[in-house]
Amino acid sequence: MAENPTPDPVEGSGSQPATAPPADTRPKPQFGELAPPGWVWKPPADSKTGHQQEPMVVHKPAHGQNAPQTPPKPAKAQKPAKPAKAASGTLFGEAPTPPAAASGASSAVPTDAKAAPPWDRAVTLALLVFGIFGVIISIQLQSSITQSIAIIHAQEGIADYTPSPVVPTIVLIGGIVQIVLWLLAAGLSLLQIRRRRRAFWIPILVGVLSVIAVIFVLTSVLLTDTALLNHFAEMSS
């Protein structure tokens, strides 16, 4: 069977063909040029679906704006940094870092501003060794104080020197103080070295205290010799 052709519109039947919209006579913007306010862009219909997209109208930009701004892209979430593992300490500081992990650890772990310089360990150990000789000399000096006073008695023509019973106790306490001070300096210094802090000042400070202790012991022994004190008092008068 032959299909019936679509009948042509008959005059006076009341059905009229659809009229086309008037053509837009305004100048169209060129490539890279801003469209004038009020210009409407009508996208072509999709050939497959026949769907007509909504037209885009160019509005007049607000004062101080040249073109519509694109919305900012959402920032990517950063992964939390992994905490650095604490290195096991040794007697003289932290354990050495392997060469493979040294580059990565140096960039991830911040440098400690209070860390001791490389020379601090060597200087501290040298001062502690020097302190051992200082302790030996201090004990010998305190032990020979009675002999020195006896020589002064002989030179000044004073009667023979007889040490007071308390003198050996003062000398013994003075020697113990010197040993305790050195052990205190060694313990605090090694603790500071292990914590990677400056430690060279500890032997110096304890050395000053040691000198003060020696002077105190010698002065105490001299004050027990009344014959020598009276002799110098007569000479000054």
For residue 60, the model assigns a pLDDT of: 55
Model pLDDT, residue 41: 66
Q: Are 97 and 105 in contact (CB under 8 A)?
A: yes
DSSP-assigned states of every residue in 143-205: HTHHHHHHHHHHHHTPPPP---TTHHHHHHHHHHHHHHHHHHHHHHHHHHHHTT---THHHHH
Q: What is the DSSP letter of 5?
A: P
Q: What is the CA radius of gyration of the chain?
A: 51
How far CA 64 is from CA of 68, 70, 97, in Å, comes to 11, 16, 58
* Joined tokens for residue 184: 């205190």
Which single residue is written with the structure tokens 């500081």? 93
How far apart are the two ends of the chain, measured CA to CA in Å?
160
At residue 107, the pLDDT reads 45
pLDDT at 31: 65
Number of helices and strands in the chain (H, E): 6, 4
Beta pairing class for 40-41 and 89-90: unpaired
Distance CA 166, CA 179 (A): 21
Give which of 116, 225, 217 is closest to 162, Cα–Cα.
225
Contact between 60 and 37 under an 8 Å Cβ cutoff? The reply is: yes
For residue 150, how many other CB atoms are within 10 A of its CB?
16
Residuewise pLDDT in 10s, the chain (237 residues): 444 555 555 444 455 555 666 666 766 666 666 666 666 666 666 666 655 556 555 555 555 455 555 555 666 666 666 655 554 445 545 555 555 444 444 444 445 667 888 899 999 999 999 999 999 999 999 999 999 999 988 888 888 888 889 999 999 999 999 999 999 999 999 999 999 999 999 999 999 999 999 999 999 999 998 888 888 888 887
**Residue 156, pLDDT score:** 84
Return the pLDDT at 233.
85
Of 175, 164, 165, residue with least CA distance to 140: 175
What pLDDT score does 140 carry? 94
